[in-house]
Structure formats: C-alpha cells, structure tokens
C-alpha cells in the first residue's frame, strides 16, 4: 500500500534554490522586469506607518488606519506567510516624453502616466496568479495570496527588502535601472524561498522631488502629507478640494507625476512594451474642454477597465473644473464652465463657480491694469 506524501515530506523534497531561479525565468516570461523575495519582518516600517497615521497625513483614507497592523505584519493578513515574492512591471509609456509639454499647456488635461491604459490591478493580479500557478506545478498546492495595491500591504517596504529598489525622498520606490515608472505586486507564500539582499539607498543630497512638488506635499525627506498631494486630492478625496490648493494643481486632472519627472534616476527610462498600458482616448494630452463635455455614460464607457474610473464622474468634473479655472481665459473655456454651472451635483457646481470667479477676477485685474496704463499715457 502506497502512503501519500505529507505536506512536510513534500516540502522537504523541493529544491528551493532551483525554484527561486525558475521564478526569475517564469516572471520574465510573464512580462515582469524583476522579482525578489523577502521575509516578513517590517518592524521599522511599522513604526514609520504608525507615526504617519498619528500625524493625520492619511487624510480621508480611513482604511489606512482601519486595517491596523495587518499592513506591516504579513502573517496576520494571510496566515502562514513566511516569504513575500515582490514583482516589478514597468509602465512608462511612449508619451512620457511629452509630459512637460502637456503640463505647460493649460488648455490640456494632465493625467498621471500610470492611468493611461488598462487598470494595472487587473494586469498584475492576472500575471501574478499565473506565476503562482507555475510555482504550484513544481511544489503542488501551496499557501499563497496575490496582491496588487489591493489590500493592506506595505508594498514599497517589501520591495525594498526584496532588493527591487530603495524608497526615495518622495516616498516612491526607485531602481537604478528603472527609475520609478513601474508597478509592484506581491505573492504572500508559505514557501521558505531563499531571501534576496535588501537594496541600498542612492538619493544622496538630491532634493529635486521635494522642491518641485506643486502643493508642497513632501513635507520632509521620506515624509508625504497625503492631504496636500495632488494624487490624493484628485483621486482619493471625495469632497471639495481645499481652495488654497486649487491653483497649485494647475491642469493636473488625475494624479501627478512631477516628482517622478524631475528625478534624475528616471532620465534614461525606456518605454514599456506592454500594450495594456498604452494611452487610450487621447488621454496623453486631450483638451480640457473636450474632456469636460463627456457625459456620465461617455465617462463610464471610455474608462471601463481603467484605473481612472476610481475618481468617479463627479470627481472627474470637479477636477477638470479646477483645471479650467487655472487656464487662460477664452470663450471656449468660459462656455464650457457655464455649461456645467447648473449641474445637479453640488460638488461640481461649487468648483465651477470657483473657476468662473477666477476668470472674472483676472478679467477685472486686466481691465484695471489697462485703465492705469491708459491714464498714464
């Protein structure tokens, strides 16, 4: 009579060093640029997280506090976890080169480059599950769970510990060969894989990311006040954007890339080969008035399967109203704003009224200046 192998017997039969090498090969075949493996110790990062929460820097993102310490203790989020496989997938689009041109053109809407194409959550989660399936072909069924910015996970700290890069002064992960234009995903597992060496930091004395932030959200090196961050204001915030932060937002209607665009480590980043991340609907430089004209049905249809839908239709109009308020006065801009002045949403009406007021004040100032010049002649 044959005896079935116990989980312990099966685990002892696995060559984990070879498996680790295979994971590198399989992940590359699945479109990941790099993977690393780390343990589950995040003590220092847990302390940093608690201090950040205590300072209230998370704003309305209550889930950051609600999840408690599961974010910094992987085994409490998924029982049995002893290792984390961290994976990197690059997303820099061909349109990256025109980013500054779009930011300098106040008639266009700037969309964070990660949101151009298909929702990265869907892409990475699908690929990571395929990687887990390949591992299971060697190990048999094993304990695991796949994450892509979809649960309380300290993904940047885990990626740093897995050797994928270091956390920069802007709080994003940086890599020598890929800058910061990449997504991260994880597989929590009970497999005792060999652990990689954590990455060292290479920001040096550079503070360009801190200096360029339009809303001064990076309040100190490695410390971000999300309440001032344009990504938070245009995506996570559900209510009114604070008036004092509206002008600095400029024409950024979904997220912000300034701290990445200015970073020296991003100077030589290559465009992604992933078709899923290619720009859709001309969002790499569309006219604000055209985007503002989208109906709710058009917004839902055109953003289906995209991360940009997260802001919601009201948030979309709110953000564009602010950008139009920051644009140069023109008949098209005024007409677009007036077309939404009686919108059913109080949130939209408020931001449209603000934008129209900005243009009225500029018109009055210009008129007063012209009168002074005429009087002096």
104 is catalytic: no
φ, ψ dihedrals at 258, nearest 5°: -55, -45
Per DSSP, the three-state class of 372 is helix
Catalytic residue (choose from 149, 190, 196, 290): 149
DSSP string, 293-315: T--HHHHHHHTTTSGGGGGHHHH
Of the chain, the end-to-end C-alpha distance in Å amounts to: 110
Name, in order, each residue with C-beta under 8 angstroms of 127's C-beta and a sequence gap of 6 or more: 30, 31, 32, 87, 89, 185
Are 351 and 318 in contact by the 8 Å Cβ rule? The answer is yes
Q: How many other β-carbons are positioned within 10 Å of the β-carbon of residue 359?
A: 19
**At which residue do the structure tokens 């480059």 appear?**
113
DSSP string, 325-369: HHSPP-HHHHHHHHHTTT-S-HHHHHHHHHHHHHHHHHHHHHHHH
Active site residues: 149
């Amino acid at each position: 009579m044959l005896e079935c192998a116990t989980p312990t017997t099966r685990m002892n039969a696995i060559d984990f060093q070879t498996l680790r090498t295979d994971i590198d090969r399989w992940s590359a075949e699945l479109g990941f640029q790099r993977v690393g493996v780390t343990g589950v110790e995040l003590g220092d990062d847990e302390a940093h997280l608690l201090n950040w929460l205590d300072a209230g820097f998370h704003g309305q993102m209550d889930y950051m506090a609600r999840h408690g310490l599961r974010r910094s203790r992987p085994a409490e989020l998924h029982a049995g976890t002893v290792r984390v496989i961290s994976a990197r997938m690059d997303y820099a689009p061909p349109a990256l080169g025109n980013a500054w041109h779009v930011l300098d053109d106040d008639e266009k809407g700037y969309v964070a480059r990660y949101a151009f194409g298909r929702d990265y959550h869907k892409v990475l989660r699908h690929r990571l599950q395929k990687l887990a399936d390949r591992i299971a072909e060697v190990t048999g069924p094993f304990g695991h769970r796949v994450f892509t910015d979809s649960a309380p996970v300290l993904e940047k700290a885990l990626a740093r510990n897995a050797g994928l890069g270091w956390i920069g002064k802007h709080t994003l992960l940086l890599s020598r060969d890929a800058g910061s234009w990449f997504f991260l995903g994880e597989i929590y597992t009970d497999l005792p894989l060999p652990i990689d060496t954590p990455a060292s930091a290479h920001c040096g004395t550079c503070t360009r990311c801190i200096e360029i932030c339009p809303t001064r959200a990076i309040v100190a090196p490695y410390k971000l006040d999300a309440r001032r961050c344009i990504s938070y204001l245009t995506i996570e915030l559900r209510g009114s954007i604070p008036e004092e932060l509206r002008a600095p937002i400029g024409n950024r209607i979904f997220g912000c890339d300034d701290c990445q665009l200015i970073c020296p480590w991003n100077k030589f980043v290559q465009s992604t080969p992933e078709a899923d991340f290619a720009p859709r609907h001309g969002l790499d430089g569309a006219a604000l008035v055209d985007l503002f004209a989208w109906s709710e049905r058009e917004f839902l249809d055109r953003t289906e399967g995209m991360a940009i839908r997260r802001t919601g239709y009201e948030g979309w109009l709110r953000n564009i109203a602010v950008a139009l308020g920051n644009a140069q006065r023109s008949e098209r801009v005024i007409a677009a704003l007036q077309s939404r002045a009686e919108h059913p949403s109080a949130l939209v009406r408020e931001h449209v009224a603000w934008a129209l007021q900005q243009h009225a004040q500029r018109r009055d100032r210009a008129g007063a200046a012209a009168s002074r010049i005429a009087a002096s002649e």
